[in-house]
Amino acid sequence: MTKKKGRQTVCFENPPVILNTYSIGGVKESEGPLKADFDKILDDDKWGEDSWEKAETKLQKEAVQGAMSGAGVQPENVDYIFAGDLQNQCVGTHYAMRGMDIPFFGIYGACSTMSESMSLGAMMIDGGFADKVLCVTSSHFCAAEKQFRFPLEYGGQRTPTSQWTVTGAGAALLGSDGKGPRITAVTTGKITDYGITDINNMGAAMAPAAAETLMAHFDDLNIAPDFYDLILTGDLGVVGSDILCDLMNKNGYNIYPKHNDCGKMIYDIKAQDVHAGGSGCGCMGSVFCGHIMKKLKNKELKNILVMATGALMNPSILLQDESIPGIAHAVAITAEKIGE
């Protein structure tokens, strides 16, 4: 007997609270429509560091410190950090966390990291192992381009389906008790691969995983898309979002009126020339921890499903004729009071 409902979903007995979040946006992000919703904005993408990689480390450090200090919480009161990023061996995260003096679990879910970390963090709390957990992620456009595609100096052309990796970070402090929106359920994804091989079309590679997790969520809880005010994906962008909505529609779920995607929201897609929209762990990290949390706090949003999606390849395995597997983890959040 477990707390599971169906194959992939867990419902919490004592839904963990999102006590505080902190969101940081880079230069390009601060020129987009959500500029007012970041807690901090960079005026230079190196942010005083001597490399992009180290700037990403600083993003996570500052996000963690912001999330803690805004809640009046000291590091010694945080039981665990769950964090990861896109850099090889997640070094953005590790160098940020080495001074933290907080027990650390490293995770890798590519761009699904924000909802993977919140899933595990919420389970730690509801399972009785923690009172407070930090869930953290980031990405950096320049570090990611260099590592996954081409050096920026090369000036490569971007294809129409390509997305722009967000420079940004988000940290969410979860607690067993207190004021704030609550995580009521999580649905954990399976690795899904529909055979997409185009490294410049991450949205198409991740959309099938999003559809499968979303259908599992609805099935496991016996609910329909109408249950939510908003079904928010992480970084499917314009192309992947359309594929997700169409796939869901073919399976009998109309999510068109409920769906939005952080990768579509964070930029003014045409004016900022980002082709298919934003991507990267920091996309949902910064949008959820900034813009979305504000709307949950002021009750503009009441019941939402937050589902970050990750593409689980690396460049060398794609050169070995492999396709791109994806994963998506869903986190159900309510701003309503529970049990009243």
The residues binding its own copies (CB under 8 A) are 1-4, 7-8, 10, 50-51, 53-54, 76, 79-80, 84, 86-91, 94-95, 97-98, 100-110, 116, 119-120, 123-124, 126-131, 176, 188-193, 312-314, 316-317, 320, 322, 325, 327
CB of 43 to its own copies, least distance (A): 22
Please report, to the nearest 10 degrees, the dihedral formed by the alpha carbons of residues 52, 58, 59, 60 taken in order. Answer: 120
| CB of 312 vs its own copies, minimal distance in Å | 4
Distances from the Cα of 322 to the Cαs of 50, 105, 305, 319, in angstroms?
A: 35, 29, 31, 7
**Closest CB to its own copies among 266 and 311?**
311
In angstroms, give the least distance from the CB of 175 to its own copies.
Answer: 12
Provide, rounded to whole angstroms, the least separation between the CB of residue 34 and its own copies: 28
Q: What does the block give as tokens for 35? A: 């500029």
Q: How far is the CB of 129 from its own copies (least distance, A)?
A: 5
- Nearer Cβ to its own copies (67/230): 67
| Nearer of residues 34 and 110 to its own copies, judged by Cβ | 110
Cβ proximity to its own copies, 10 vs 306, nearer residue: 10
**Minimum distance from CB of 1 to its own copies (Å)?**
8
Task: Write the CB contacts of 66 (distance below 8 Å, at least 6 apart in sequence).
Answer: 22, 24, 39, 40, 171
Beta 303-311 vs 168-175: how paired, if at all? unpaired
Chain centroid to CA 163: 15
> In the complex, what is the shortest distance from the CB of residue 31 to its own copies, in angstroms, rounded to a whole number?
28
Which of 86/304 has CB closer to its own copies?
86
Residue closer to its own copies, measured from CB, 59 or 90: 90
The residue type of 245 is C
Name the residue among 109, 35, 63 with its Cα closest to residue 265: 35
In sequence order, the 6+-apart residues with CB closer than 8 A to the CB of 326 are 191, 192, 193, 205, 206, 207, 208, 209, 210, 309, 310, 311, 312
List C-alpha distances in Å: 26 to 169, 282, 308, 309: 9, 10, 20, 21
Q: Which is nearer to its own copies, 273 or 322 (CB)?
A: 322
CA 155 – CA 330 distance, rounded (Å): 36
- Type of residue found at 67: A
Minimum distance from residue 302 beta carbon to its own copies (Å)? 26
**Residue at token pair 């009521």:** 184
Give the span between the Cα atoms of 60 and 172, in whole angstroms.
11
**Measured from the CB atom, is 113 or 286 closer to its own copies?**
113
Rounded distance between C-alpha atoms, residue 49 and residue 325, angstroms: 34
Tell the residue number behind the tokens 């921890």, with chain if given: 289
Q: CB of residue 138 vs its own copies: minimum separation in angstroms? A: 14
Nearer to its own copies, 161 or 314 (CB): 314
